[in-house]
Amino acid sequence: MNYNKKTVKDVDVKGKKVLLRCDFNVPMAKDGSGVITDDKRIRAALPTIQYLLDQGAAVIACSHLGKPEPSFDKWAKKQAEKGKDPASLTKEKWEKTLEALCMEPVAKRLSELLGRDVVLAADVVGPDAQAKAAALQPGQIMLLQNTRFEKGETKNDPELAKAMAGLAGADGVYVSDAFGAVHRAHASTAGVAAYLPAVSGFLIEKELEIMGGALANPKRPLVAILGGSKVSSKIGVINHLLDIADTIIIGGGMAYTFAKAQGGSVGTSLLESDWLDYCNDMIAKAKEKGVALLLPEDNLCAAEFSADAVPVLHSAMTIPDDMMGMDIGPKTIEAYAAAVKNAGTVIWNGPMGVFEFPSFAEGTRAVAKALAETDAITIIGGGDSAAAVAQLGFADKMTHISTGGGASLEFLEGKELPGVACLLDK
**SS3 state at 231:** coil
Q: Is 41 an active-site residue?
A: yes
CB of 3 within 8 A of CB of 216? Answer: yes
- Which one-letter amino acid corresponds to residue 128? D
In 173-275, which ranges are continuous DSSP H helix? 202-216, 235-241, 255-261
Would residue 363 show up in a list of annotated catalytic residues for this protein?
A: no
Query: Is 219 designated active site?
Result: no
Beta pairing class for 58-62 and 17-21:
parallel
| Catalytic residue (choose from 93, 108, 162, 230) | 230
Question: Rounded to whole angstroms, how far apart are CA atoms 58 and 141?
Answer: 6
C-alpha span between 316 and 55 (Å, rounded): 58
Residues 6 or more apart from 58 whose CB is under 8 A from it? 16, 17, 18, 136, 137, 138, 139, 140, 141
- Among residues 41, 109, 132, 365, the one annotated as catalytic is 41
Look up residue 148 and give its amino acid.
Answer: R
Q: Is 406 annotated in the active site?
A: yes
Among 56, 166, 406, 414, the active-site one is 406
Q: Are strands 312-315 and 298-302 parallel, antiparallel or unpaired?
A: antiparallel
**Interior CA angle at 153 toward 148 and 156, to 5°?**
160
Query: Which residue among 227, 267, 353, 383 is the active-site one?
Result: 383
Angle between helices 383-391 and 362-373 (to 10 degrees): 80
State whether the Cα torsion 373-47-386-381 is positive or negative: negative
| Active-site amino acid positions | 41, 230, 383, 406
